Amino acid sequence: MSNSDAVAPLPPAAGDAPHAGLPGRTIVLVGLMGAGKSSIGRRLAQRYSLPFIDADKEIEAAAGCTIEEIFARLGEQAFRDGERRVILRLLDDPPHVLATGGGAFMDPQIRERVKQRAVSVWLHAELDMLVRRVSRRSNRPLLKQGSPRDVLAALIERRYPIYAEADLRVESADGPPEQTVQRVVDALQRFNQRALSNTGAER
Ligand code: S3P
């Protein structure tokens, strides 16, 4: 492991800077479709005055077409390969808030790099809420492979044990997004305090 891979957190920003208490790393939001990664991520970035990046939008920009078109023309594997390239590149960028597509953290290479370079937050949500939320949009190819409820239930089985490897788990509130944002802020604060006191204990 090279020095640039070191996992020690940076000290919190001085004074009352808006990002005081942040670990100085990119914050990666993980979770199923409908968990609120983009909506929470955008607000979280505002709160910390950090850039917000939506990985799905970056993949579309790189491919010059929509995710639906990538799935339809090239298949899911091609989408996953593009997703991996784009996210590994984004993880080299200066700290920002990154909303990832629901399948990204399942990729071992992405997961490994996230663990080395970022702090990951799993936005956990129950099936009923996810079903309700995904019904507002119809551009997710995986949800057309069966009833959205069945697809999401199967994804919960398969993915939640892996999402549990994220640094933090936060319950996505069934209310105003600000409530979930506050939970993430609180969890990050605790995480960073723990990281700092562990660093101190080793000295
Ligand atoms: C996917 C989730 C989508 C998008 C693609 C595949 C998945 O992103 O990346 O349709 O595998 O769960 P959101 O989670 O942002 O909807």
The Å distance, Cα 56 to ligand 1 centre, comes to 8
Atom number of ligand 1 nearest to Cα 140: 10
**Residue range 12-53, pLDDT digits in tens:** 443 334 454 566 899 999 999 999 999 999 999 999 999 999
159 lines ligand 1 (CB under 6 A): no
Q: Whose CA is nearest to atom 8 of ligand 1?
A: 101
Task: Give the residue from 81, 76, 19, 74 showing the smallest Cα distance to 50.
Answer: 19
What's the chain's average pLDDT? 89
What pLDDT does 91 receive? 97
Residue 201 has pLDDT above 70, yes or no: no
Give kind and range of the element (H or E) at residue 10.
none
Q: Whose CA is nearest to atom 1 of ligand 1?
A: 102
What pLDDT does 52 receive? 98
pTM: 0.89
Span between the terminal Cα atoms of the chain, in Å = 21
**Residue range 99-142, pLDDT digits in tens:** 999 999 999 999 999 999 999 999 999 999 999 999 988 889 99
Task: Give the residue from 42, 39, 11 showing the smallest Cα distance to 25.
Answer: 11
Fold entry, domain 21-184: Rossmann fold (3.40.50)
Q: What residues contact 4, with CB distance under 8 A and at least 6 apart?
A: none
3-state SS of the chain: helix, strand, coil percent to 5?
55, 10, 35
In what order do the strands lie in the sheet containing 118-124? 52-54, 97-99, 26-30, 118-124, 168-171
Domain boundaries in the chain? 21-184
